[in-house]
Amino acid sequence: MSHKDQFKKNPKIFIHPAYPIFMEGVFRYAKQQEIKIIFNEKVGDAVDLPKLRKKMGLIEISDNVAVLLISKASLPNEIADFGEFKNFLLGFSESYASPIIILQGYPKCLEGKDPKICLAIRGTFMKLFLDEGVGVLPTRSLLDTALCLRSVAKRVQIIDKPPSLARIKPKFPKLIDAQRFFLEGLMVSGPKTAINLSDNFESVFNVIKGIQESEVFFTKTGNPKGVIGPIEDIEGSSIKFVHQNKIMLFDEL
């Protein structure tokens, strides 16, 4: 499969039209993250896809990079089914130069399964990671999965720039400087957004409360349309700002 088109601003993911139903939720969040979804029947030609195609989501990022999405429904329930599951994962790991597995909803995806199956599943993923060099990424939610896909696709297709995970803490001569530094650290934020927020709210607590009380509303097709609440009129804030910070601040760890 050849992906020779010139990638520009928005990353793309390539998916076979016969995808498992749980992928619908991933698509919804992927579109919110401005990921372009392209259906192509040649996706997976490098892998022998038997009936497991209906259980696992295979996504190609490039000719060499592919992501296999595994949900609770993808995992075997019986020892008798484990051999086929393991062989498929090993085949996937050998079919691409840079294979990645996203384990959707871990560790809850193992709840209710036989302890022997859980042990075998964990052992297989450890082998893939340690011996085969497969990237294994656990995600908590559909949004987490979409963000992972965007990060991988952007680095492969647009620019291979590792994310900055830390900021150097400067000295703060005034309290307002420390407060704005905190606000800059929010998702989809920066110096201008921090200044606008501090000018419109009396405290950092009120900013957090404003995010909590603001809601993103969507069109009938599921696309984000706008924001209702205390944040809606703040210059520099956006749908992504409210949506991503509500998840970061108020979702369960």
- First-to-last CA distance in the chain? 39
Same domain, 115 and 213: no
Spatial CB neighbours of 202, under 8 Å, sequence gap ≥ 6: none
pLDDT of residue 232: 84
Over the chain (253 residues), what is each successive 10-residue block's mean pLDDT? Answer: 49 88 88 89 75 77 92 87 88 90 87 89 89 89 89 86 60 85 88 90 91 88 85 80 86 62
- Cis omega (within 30 of 0) for bond into 107: yes
pLDDT of residue 165: 53
Domain total in the chain:
2
pLDDT of residue 211: 92
- CATH number of the domain encompassing residue 27: 3.40.50.10130
pLDDT of residue 109: 85
Same domain, 181 and 138: no
pLDDT of residue 168: 62
Same domain, 152 and 207: no
pLDDT of residue 67: 94
Distance CA 207, CA 110 (A): 37
pLDDT of residue 99: 93
